[in-house]
């Protein structure tokens, strides 16, 4: 039930907070935090990061003139408080639901979201682009990038800082430092010093000293510059940012409204032709004891009880694919000391936390740095180790160049465990695993597999352990398996060998991935209509089971391929094989079902797959279409 608030109920847009007193801003922050907890308890989503930036969000919208001043959040899951204050308060409980608000920033959702951000470390680059555009257009609007919650661990952020420092373009970067250990914990004195160092008096003195120094020798100028850098770094720890061309302010307490207002206003008013870095220390999960005391600070949560902090869990005895992967890899690692686990800031999401508990010296979380994760894995492989890089499909996209150059070209046996394959529900199109089949299967020297169930996943892990002459990848979906017994770690698959699940004639359904269950439902329904079918689990897109597909093509009237990936993937490889062998010249009918050529908005996974045409009814209709049947099966509402 929606709560009543003294101030928040009157706030619909940032302009509504401009006349509040500083004390009222503190009250507003408390109410905003309470509302955020209440909302996420109902919707699920990212909580801890938003709790840590409540005061910052209020202060930014109080000091700056958004949306004319551009405010860019990185990572976008910090923005729930921002959404509440920018015209979306009445829709906030639609968060992450079908037709509702995105869990990240989204340009089409609000003019207050100038840049979409669901992956990390993009804010400084995009903010610099907007700042340069302003300069070219003679616009004086401010550009502010908030980067935090681990986003500064990715190399792209440093590339952007290097460029920004050299550009001499004014922009403000706010580092939300909640757990990265960039600086020691700060106290009231350091917050006070930060306010002084960001103020006009200090700035004017600093610039005056530069003018005086310029009249003397270059040698004296260099010494004086070093002295200033030493003084500032001794007080603030800003050496890194200063060396990259930033005017550094901080660190300060990011929950101190008075300090935030002072520093943000100083940064806004200072006539400095270059980028400014404001370093804040914040507490992830601030203000909610269950989040503060949680290991992950309630980073991502399901619905929960506000009074107890207990999250709703899906009641199922069927293990999740992620856990099956982790437990299987652990069993192999117990026997093989060469097996190494690598993840990029997602230990719990990929199951690598379980592996790390068992083998702490053989699990490496490299931070939000997928490019480094891949090449780091390649380096391990050159020395005879067996790296398993467990990375979400959508995040592996960020390391594609490294996959090509550092792994594939050198034919190094890196094993890619690709989690979150296919559509992922509430996280929406930015987190969907739509493209990995296409972007990996196009590479020479790769083995690319997809698990149709949890038992097949175990067999694929088992198989990949012994692939020592080339890279390999196996993909699997989010969520639980289908509930079948798991094989031992000794069961393996012959490379490029598919399996016949149901043997018939007329039409062959060739499945690649986790939609085998839907194929079997379609099979049963069509069998009742007198249509004889073969169902195949392909297992591999590379190498293809050419012998099996040749046999199927010569024994059937039609073939339909099914996959949870984009065009250019499994179906395209099968079609190319059939064309090369001139099998399509013999009146063989061929169709493919794959993800449509569009980004599919967030919703319940079943509804998303229905929209994509990858449910059983869609498969049935496609087969009937192939056979030119007049019978049409209507999709249920």
Residues marked as catalytic: 284, 370, 398
Measure the CA–CA gap between 258 and 395, rounded to whole angstroms.
Answer: 38
Helices 54-63 and 22-43: angle between axes, nearest 10 degrees:
130
Strand extents, DSSP E, 26-90: 45-46, 70-74
Query: How many residues are present in the chain?
Result: 637
Measure the CA–CA gap between 634 and 621, rounded to whole angstroms.
Answer: 8
Structure tokens at 448: 């690319």
DSSP string, 503-547: --SEEEEEEESTTHHHHHHHHHHHHHTT--EEEEE--EEES--HH
Helix (H) or strand (E) holding 43: helix 22-43
What separation in angstroms does the CA of 546 have from each of 73, 496, 498, 515, 562? 49, 8, 9, 21, 17
Measure the CA–CA gap between 83 and 14, rounded to whole angstroms.
Answer: 11
Measure the CA–CA gap between 525 and 618, rounded to whole angstroms.
Answer: 12
| Residue 541, beta-bridge partner list | none
Which residue, among 570, 624, 627, 577, has the nearest Cα to 593 in the 3D structure?
A: 570
Structure tokens at 444: 């020479």
Q: With beta carbons less than 8 A apart as the criterion, state whether 513 and 422 touch.
A: yes
Structure tokens at 613: 């045409």
Phi, psi (rounded to 5 degrees) for 440? -95, -40
Structure tokens at 382: 């050159």
Measure the CA–CA gap between 59 and 61, rounded to whole angstroms.
Answer: 6
């Amino acid at each position: 039930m929606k709560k009543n608030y003294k101030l928040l109920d009157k706030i619909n847009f940032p302009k509504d907070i401009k006349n509040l007193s500083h004390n009222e801003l503190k009250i507003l922050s408390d109410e905003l935090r309470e509302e955020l907890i209440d909302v996420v308890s109902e919707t699920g989503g990212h909580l801890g990061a938003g709790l840590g930036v409540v005061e910052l969000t209020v202060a930014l919208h109080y000091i700056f003139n958004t949306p004319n001043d551009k405010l860019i959040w990185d990572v976008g899951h910090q923005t729930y408080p921002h959404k509440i204050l920018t015209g979306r308060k009445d829709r906030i409980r639609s968060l992450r639901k079908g037709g509702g608000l995105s869990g990240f920033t989204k340009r089409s959702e609000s003019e207050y979201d100038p840049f979409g951000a669901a992956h990390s470390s993009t804010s400084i680059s995009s903010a610099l682009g907007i700042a340069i555009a302003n300069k070219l257009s003679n616009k004086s609007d401010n550009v502010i990038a908030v980067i935090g919650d681990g986003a500064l661990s990715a190399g792209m952020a440093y590339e952007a800082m290097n460029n920004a420092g050299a550009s001499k373009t004014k922009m403000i970067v706010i580092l939300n430092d909640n757990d990265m250990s960039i600086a020691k914990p700060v106290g009231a004195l350091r917050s006070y010093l930060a306010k002084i160092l960001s103020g006009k008096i200090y700035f004017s003195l600093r610039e005056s000293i530069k003018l005086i120094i310029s009249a003397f020798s270059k040698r004296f100028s260099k010494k004086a510059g070093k002295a200033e850098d030493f003084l500032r770094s001794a007080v603030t720890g800003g050496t890194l940012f200063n060396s990259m061309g930033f005017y550094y302010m901080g660190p300060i307490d990011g929950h101190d409204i008075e300090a935030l207002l002072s520093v943000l206003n100083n940064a806004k008013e200072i006539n400095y032709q270059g980028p400014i870095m404001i370093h804040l220390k914040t507490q992830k999960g601030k203000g909610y004891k269950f989040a503060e005391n949680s290991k992950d600070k309630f980073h991502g949560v399901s619905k929960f009880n506000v009074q107890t902090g207990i999250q709703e869990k899906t009641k199922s005895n069927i293990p999740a694919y992620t856990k099956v992967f982790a437990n299987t890899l652990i069993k192999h690692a117990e026997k093989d000391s060469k097996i190494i686990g690598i993840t990029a800031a997602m230990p719990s999401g990929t199951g690598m936390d379980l592996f790390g508990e068992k083998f702490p010296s053989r699990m490496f979380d490299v931070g939000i740095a997928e490019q480094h994760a891949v090449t780091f894995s390649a380096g391990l492989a050159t020395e005879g180790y067996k790296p398993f890089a467990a990375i979400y499909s959508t995040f592996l996209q960020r390391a594609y160049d490294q996959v090509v150059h550092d792994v594939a070209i050198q034919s190094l046996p890196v094993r890619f465990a690709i989690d979150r394959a296919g559509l992922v529900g509430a996280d929406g199109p930015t987190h969907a695993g739509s493209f990995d089949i296409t972007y990996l299967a196009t590479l020479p020297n790769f083995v690319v597999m997809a698990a149709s169930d949890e038992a097949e996943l175990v067999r694929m892990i088992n198989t990949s352990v012994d692939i020592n002459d080339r890279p390999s990848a196996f993909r699997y979906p989010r969520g639980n398996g289908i509930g079948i017994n798991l094989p031992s770690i000794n069961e393996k698959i012959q490379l490029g060998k598919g399996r016949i699940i149901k043997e018939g004639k007329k039409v062959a359904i060739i499945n690649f991935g986790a939609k085998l269950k839907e194929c079997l439902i379609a099979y049963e329904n069509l069998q009742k209509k007198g249509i004889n079918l073969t169902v195949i689990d392909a297992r591999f897109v590379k190498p293809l089971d050419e012998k099996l597909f040749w046999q199927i093509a010569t024994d059937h009237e039609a073939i339909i391929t099914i996959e949870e990936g984009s065009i250019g993937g499994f179906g395209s490889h099968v079609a190319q094989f059939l064309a090369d062998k001139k099998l399509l010249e013999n009146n063989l009918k061929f169709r493919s079902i794959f993800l449509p050529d569009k980004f599919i908005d967030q919703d319940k996974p079943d509804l998303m797959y229905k929209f994509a045409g990858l449910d059983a009814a869609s498969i049935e209709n496609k087969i009937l279409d192939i056979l030119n049947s007049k019978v049409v099966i209507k999709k249920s509402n």
